[in-house]
Structure 1
């Protein structure tokens, strides 16, 4: 019912101009309490912002979100999970992966994908092979979503990944809210997230540049972002791979680069716990305790990537600064409120919002 009201009323306003949109938005905001999350005063305010209008034109009926409190609650979830595990591992690395995979579907040329929408809540995206093992991270954040119903999943996931980085001793992250949730599955194809191996050294290197280049990242930004492999580990029941990249998997550092450049020698994994290894191609150090994916090894196989690895291995501050900037850019790709285009017409903006919220034909 509300969707039909919003579709007819706001579409009519869009056709007749900005002033009518504001007038209709005011009328709708008093009725648009959360109904399956489709329309709320917060949504209307964000829509006005995306159109380049003045936020004060819409009544501030939504309860403000205390993002500092949300951050504290995320940190408590991480701490409680670590205490429950009691084995030195942490949910933090998986939260970083959740934020990254929710954002890494962006395509600069197509102008779609990215963290806006939080479409990993739906099939088929949540069952993509690249997203295996992320269900527990999404579930762990549900109590926070329930406590702060006004926060979008898209904001919550990206904030959780950013808090996790800081909690693990990483750089300060510039994060800001403004992402809206979709109520429709993603329209982007599977395959936009990076693969660990393309079965050939040259193809794996090309794949990294293609995936990150599609989002608009430079070589420096690509290498910096992959540096997040310093935390967490691979699990055979999720990716098929096994093991951590570093000996301090809950500490965000430049250790991935130090291991690549100064560690090793890295050889193909042949055995695991005394038995033949039957998993996918990966590399291990002489102790067999640390691993590297083919896509990690690509950072020292390619001469330009290797120069950056060597730089970051020697200078953690430089790595932290570059990573923080690239991470913030990643989380904001494709989010209209952060990436407004002067060529975007009012009607086009409305079509985008309608599509995002399932209000189109």
Structure 2
């Protein structure tokens, strides 16, 4: 039996995925067949010399010494400005670890994804929770105040780490901490968003353009609670949240299709269950199920959510269901349900935009985003 046929036979709903992403996903993700209930490489030495030169550009007058040796809050806040200047200087002088260095980080993350199977975590992959970490660390952006987003990785600090929408993401942060220790030159913001890219690509999704340049900030830059979507609310709420970030209706529907991956946990969000029968595979099944299944309100003691009438094993949030109740949202649901490749294209573009929210263009080390190689391409 071919790899593609193996993957197709494993799926319980919908048509077989394209051959280009079929083979490895079926083999590397045992949960695709069933779901449950529940060498350090530093940059080259020559680059280090360039780094010191870049640091000199950003720290004229000795300000860096004060910032990096003082424990005062004002010094820490000023430190972010200096770090941003350092990163901009690095980008301007073309100093950065190479694309190959970042590929090594990606490869290490890819290795971690499947260790979930050995540890009995969820459906056998850490991919969904790593994508959620990247999403939530980026989705706090407010275009009016130019605050939030992925630049400072402020979920490392209280109170943002304890925001209700971030419950359980300590698991993802802890998973990536050994990678940070192995590659200490990468910022947390770059690491977390690269983890999201790896999750999508390694679980059969599209290539997501990505580029490094984020810096690590301080607790003073934590965002207020309430900026991330509330799954219990409807279309108006969805628009308020995503419009604040700078997305339009088409991009909103494309991003929410990421619910093809993963499941809700009652001890985190209060909601419970997976959206699809293959929660560790990136497909357009979320849209097809949303359109074609009969959804009824779940009778239970938890928050209001829907379940499929035929098996009672799938769920949809009120925010998901709003996509087929709103006329303009629904047209995009239909488009993506009918054409998976169209969704792949739009999803990749929207995710790339999401992951760059809040990052000054001058900090990026490349004008054109990179495409990282998946494990199949080694």
TMscore range, shorter length: 0.7 to 0.9
- Which residue in 2 is equivalent to 1:237? 267
Q: Quick one: distance in 2 between partners of 1:266 and 1:327?
A: 28
For the 8 Å contact 2:272–2:315, the answer to whether it is kept is: yes
Q: CA shift at 1:64, angstroms? A: 5.5
Q: Structure 1 residue 46 and structure 2 residue 75: aligned?
A: no
The CA distance in 1 between the partners of 2:273 and 2:251, in whole Å, is 25
Q: Please state how far the C-alpha of 1:109 moved relative to its aligned partner.
A: 1.0
Structure 2: how far apart are the matches of 1:301 and 1:228? 19
User: What is the match of residue 178 of structure 2?
Assistant: 143
The one of 114, 127, 135 aligned to 1:92 = 127
Separation of aligned partners in 1, 2:159 and 2:121: 34
Distance 1:171 1:34, change over 3 A: farther
- Taking the TM superposition and a 5 Å limit, the aligned residue runs for 1:164-313 are 164-198=199-233, 204-263=234-293, 265-270=294-299, 277-286=300-309, 287-313=311-337
1:110, CA displacement in angstroms? 1.1
Paired with 1:151 and 1:34, the residues of 2 have a C-alpha distance of 21
Distance 1:149 1:43 in 2: 18
Q: In the TM superposition, what is the alpha-carbon distance from 1:338 to its structure 2 partner? A: 5.8
Distance in 2 separating the partners of 1:77 and 1:112: 31
Q: 1:103 — aligned with what?
A: 138
SS in 1 for 2:109: helix
3-state DSSP of counterpart to 1:284: strand
Question: For residues 339 and 218 of structure 1, do their structure 2 counterparts lie closer, same or farther at Cα, with a shift above 3 Å needed?
Answer: farther
Structure of larger gyration radius: 1
Residues 269 and 283 in structure 1, CA contact (< 8 A), matched pair in contact too: yes
Distance 1:29 1:67, change over 3 A: farther
In 2, distance between residues paired with 1:146 and 1:280?
Answer: 39
TM-score (norm 1): 0.77
Question: Quick check: 1:324 aligned with 2:353?
Answer: no
- Give the superposition deviation at 1:49: 5.7
Contact 2:209–2:352 under 8 Å retained in 1: yes
Distance 2:163 2:345 in 1: 32
Offset at residue 79 of structure 1 (A): 1.5
Cα separation, 1, equivalents of 2:359 and 2:122: 38
Distance 1:333 1:136, change over 3 A: same
TM-score (norm 2): 0.73
The number of residues matched between the two structures is: 302
Structure 1: gaps spanning 5 or more residues: 1-20, 199-203, 271-276, 341-361
Q: Is the 8 A contact 1:235 1:242 kept in 2?
A: yes
Contact 2:160 2:222 in 1 (8 A): no
The alpha carbon displacement at 1:235 in A equals: 0.4
Residues in 2 aligned to 1:33 and 1:63: alpha-carbon distance in whole angstroms = 22
Instruction: Determine the C-alpha separation between the residues in 1 that align with 2:271 and 2:244.
Output: 26
Q: Aligned partners of 2:59 and 2:216: how far apart in 1? A: 22
Residue by residue, what CA displacement relative to the aligned partner does 1:60-107 show, whole Å, maximum 9, x if unpaired? 5x7667011000000001012223227633211011110000000101
The Cα of 1:44 is off from its aligned counterpart by 5.5
How far off is 1:32 after superposition?
10
Q: RMSD value over aligned CA atoms?
A: 3.0
